[in-house]
Structure 1
Amino acid sequence: MSLDSVRDFLRQHAPDITVLELADSTATVAEAAAGHGVAPAQIAKTLAISVNGQAMLVVAGGEARLDNRLARARFGGKVRMLPADEVAALTGHPVGGVCPFGLRTPLPVYCDVSLRRFAEVLPAAGSRNSALRIAPERLAALAGAEWVEVCRDSSEGGA
């Protein structure tokens, strides 16, 4: 069902983009990177968070970690990760398949600058074994996302 909403979104807004489905899970950054033969940092993971009761999505590079100080300064409050059941209810996508396309509920979407170091990134596509290949700028445009800097590379620390 969730994969179908992403396919419907792409049919309407980006018919040239193909959803890639693998036999094995790509629900984690490591699984997705191995399955698609790319570096973990090239996976575009989508974090579902809440700030002051407002749910939102942050799409970031696979090795990036949300920096609480940067996120608090940018979003104006303490960041809380949403529990899996809330994520599924809001997005229509299961954890491990969340992406900013084909959402059940319209949500603000932000793309972290960690995505910009690649010509192409791979976000999930609504299921735990699907993804798509897309340029970061196009991902942001299709998602109606604003660019932010709220993450740090995992080697730099962060949350």
Structure 2
Amino acid sequence: MAIDAVKDYFSQYGRANDVMEFDVSSATVELAAQALQVIPARIAKTLSFKNDHGCILVVTAGDAKVDNRKFKDQFGLKAKMLASDEVLEFTGHAVGGVCPFAIKNSEVMTYVDVSIKRFDTVFPACGSSNSAIELTCDELYQYSQGLMWVDVCKDWVD
């Protein structure tokens, strides 16, 4: 299971026990916010996009939407999301539990959007549709092996 791979991944940082599993679904921003009893914006959602070499993951705040112009300016290509079977193939995680952790495919590049920087901590999924971990923004960047901070979103409030 993907959640087991994520727990194994976090064990190298001494954080495997910090992965939370819920009795309810956290497969969407709204459901995750309900499960965690936080505002939806604090859910760190991981979006997956096609590129020429594999895929790009962009971790954004729960209330942010990708701005097509900013995305194209940053990455030089149109923002085209992966199909659910492609998400699983590239990340090892099914839609609803996609996260930037324990990614085995070296052709997956992870970026973290500045929309999350307004929070002390955020909650990304952990490989299943009923899991999360609380991380600081710096921890999220570090543990996701982010290549760089990007500004490719809109509609979030600072």
Is TM more than 0.5 here? yes
- Letter in structure 1 aligned against 2:154: R
- Matched with 1:148 is 150
| 3-state secondary structure, aligned to 2:80 | strand
Residues 40-51 of structure 1 aligned to structure 2 (within 5 Å): 40-51=40-51
- Matched with 2:121 is 120
Rounded to whole Å, the distance in 2 between the matches of 1:47 and 1:80 is 10
Distance apart, 1:10 and its partner CA: 0.2
- Matched with 1:15 is 14
Q: Which moved more, 1:52-61 or 1:84-93?
A: 52-61
Residues 55-94 of structure 1 aligned to structure 2 (within 5 Å): 55-94=55-94
| 3-state secondary structure, aligned to 2:5 | helix
Distance apart, 1:53 and its partner CA: 5.0
| 3-state secondary structure, aligned to 2:149 | strand
What is the aligned-residue RMSD (CA, Å)? Answer: 1.3
Q: 1:94-149, CA deviations, whole angstroms, 9 ceiling, x for partnerless residues?
A: 10101000113131100000010100000000000000000011110121211000
Preserved contact between residue 50 and residue 79 of structure 2 (Cα < 8 Å): yes
Rounded to whole Å, the distance in 1 between the matches of 2:102 and 2:56 is 14
Rounded to whole Å, the distance in 1 between the matches of 2:119 and 2:156 is 17
Distance apart, 1:28 and its partner CA: 0.3
Preserved contact between residue 46 and residue 59 of structure 1 (Cα < 8 Å): yes
Aligned length: 154
Instruction: Write out the 4+ residue segments of structure 1 that deviate beyond 6 Å after TM superposition.
Output: none
Rounded to whole Å, the distance in 1 between the matches of 2:15 and 2:145 is 18
- Letter in structure 2 aligned against 1:114: S
Preserved contact between residue 97 and residue 125 of structure 1 (Cα < 8 Å): yes
Give the TM-score, by structure 2 length: 0.93
Preserved contact between residue 30 and residue 40 of structure 2 (Cα < 8 Å): yes
Unaligned stretches of 5+ residues in structure 1: none
Residues 95-134 of structure 1 aligned to structure 2 (within 5 Å): 95-106=95-106, 107-134=108-135
- Matched with 2:139 is 138
Distance apart, 1:52 and its partner CA: 3.8
Residues 22-37 of structure 1 aligned to structure 2 (within 5 Å): 22-37=22-37
Give the TM-score, by structure 1 length: 0.92
